[in-house]
Amino acid sequence: MNRSKIEWCDHTFNPITGCRHNCGYCYARRMTARFAGDVRLNLNAKADYTLEEAADGGDPLYVLDRPMLNETGSPLNYPFNFEPTLHRYRYERLDNLKMGNNIFVGAMADIFGEWVPDHWIEEVLSECAKRPMHNYMFLTKNPGRYVKLADAGKLPKGDNFWYGSSITNPHNPYFYDTTRHYHCFVSIEPIHEDFGGFKGMGLPEWIIVGPETGNRKGKVVPDASWIRNITAIADKHGIPVFMKDKLVVYKIIGEDEMRRDYPPQLLQRSLSDKIDKKINGLCDMCKAKYKKRDMVNVLAKTKRGVAAAHSCYLCRDCFARSCKTIGVDAESILEIADGKRKEANNEKEL
Ligand code: SF4
Ligand SMILES: [Zn+2]
């Protein structure tokens, strides 16, 4: 799990790496080549990996159940360079994050490329679904695969699953959904043409737009009007727009035109089960959920001579009610408790 440099997500998660689309401007391919190590040597370590048939009948794919190590014992992130590889051992990395995050799944691949077997995709999606506190964002240049998987009932729905199409011009197909309630977005990165509108019948729920980076011969530098036209379409339909920093860095648009908008569902951050249990609890009487620090921690002695230990939590209302039944003034107890807490907090600040 990597803290991401990609501006529109918090983390990238790469259970599959490698892609066969051959885009001339591919950043992932350049990065992978830098960290591949000695690929010939890796290919010779046949006991460390298995081969699998590609779904489109092309060259075989690679499967790693354990990380492959180099001669010094360090794990290799891309032992087969940009060849499609399933890194099955990476799933548990999703558990390392305590808070819910926006996770871009497959930043160094096209998980939905035609060569990827259905069962790889299903495996990745099901590992994500097991950890519902995160938002998962996917991107493909092959949006038809989303449609096929959705038709087969294999594409999970939910506010935390976001299916993106990577497009560069208004003629590229993208995944949209008007009936099945999938969340869909487009990433126009790099933008290579003016967008008069969106060709599909439905609109995306979110638009990410950025210019081409790197120094490729024939690199396309967008005109400011292309970006303004996108914003105009988005504003007309109430679609949030996220612009990449480079649009300002390259002086394509001014800082005052910059947008960093997210759909509301992607602004939500939830807690992991572990942290949730630590911070929140149920009132023992009314069973409503509160922050533990807002409830009364009721202590009880199990026998004489031993220290009182935690017995249960009560919300303040239930605590007051139970005090009343035994003729104790709850208000004064709560005042003392609140005073003590304030003192403790002041001490911490000093
Ligand atoms: S689809 Fe993405 S990962 Fe694949 S070659 Fe094109 S830019 Fe690279
Ligand atoms: Zn209660």
Span 207-251, pLDDT tens digits: 999 999 888 888 899 999 999 999 999 999 999 999 999 999 999
Query: Tens digits of per-residue pLDDT, 3-53?
Result: 667 888 989 999 999 999 998 888 889 889 888 888 999 999 999 999 999
**Distance of CA 313 from the midpoint of ligand 2 (Å):** 9
- Ligand 1 pocket check for 212: Cβ under 6 Å: no
pLDDT of residue 338: 66
From the CA of 109, the nearest ligand is: 1
From the CA of 317, the nearest ligand is: 2
How much of the chain exceeds pLDDT 90, in percent? 58
CB distance 322 to 314 below 8 Å: yes
CB distance 132 to 276 below 8 Å: no
Distance CA 45, CA 142 (A): 32
**Distance of CA 14 from the midpoint of ligand 1 (Å):** 14
Residues in the chain: 350
Structure-model confidence comparison of residues 200 and 166, the more confident one: 166
The chain-wide mean pLDDT, for the chain, equals 88
Q: Supply the residue whose CA is at minimum distance from atom 6 of ligand 1.
A: 23
Task: Tell me: pLDDT of 349 over 70.
Answer: no
**Distance of CA 180 from the midpoint of ligand 1 (Å):** 28
Q: Supply the residue whose CA is at minimum distance from atom 7 of ligand 1.
A: 26
Query: Tens digits of per-residue pLDDT, 249-302?
Result: 999 999 899 999 999 988 866 656 666 777 788 999 998 888 888 889 988 887
Q: Supply the residue whose CA is at minimum distance from atom 3 of ligand 1.
A: 109
Mean of pLDDT values over 96-120: 93
How much of the chain exceeds pLDDT 70, in percent? 91
Torsion, Cα 223 225 229 235, to 10 degrees, reads 110
- Ligand 1 pocket check for 19: Cβ under 6 Å: yes
Distance CA 62, CA 17 (A): 10
Distance CA 131, CA 127 (A): 7
Band of residue 119 on the pLDDT scale cut at 50, 70, 90: very high
Task: Tell me: pLDDT of 346 over 50.
Answer: no
Burial 50-87 (b: 16+ CB within 10 A, else e): eeeebbeeeeebbebeeebeeeeeeebbbbbbbbbbbb
pLDDT of residue 229: 93
Q: Which residues, 6 or more positions from 201, have their beta carbon under 8 angstroms from its beta carbon?
A: 176, 178
Task: Tell me: pLDDT of 116 over 70.
Answer: yes
Distance CA 9, CA 105 (A): 10
Structure tokens at 100: 């819910």
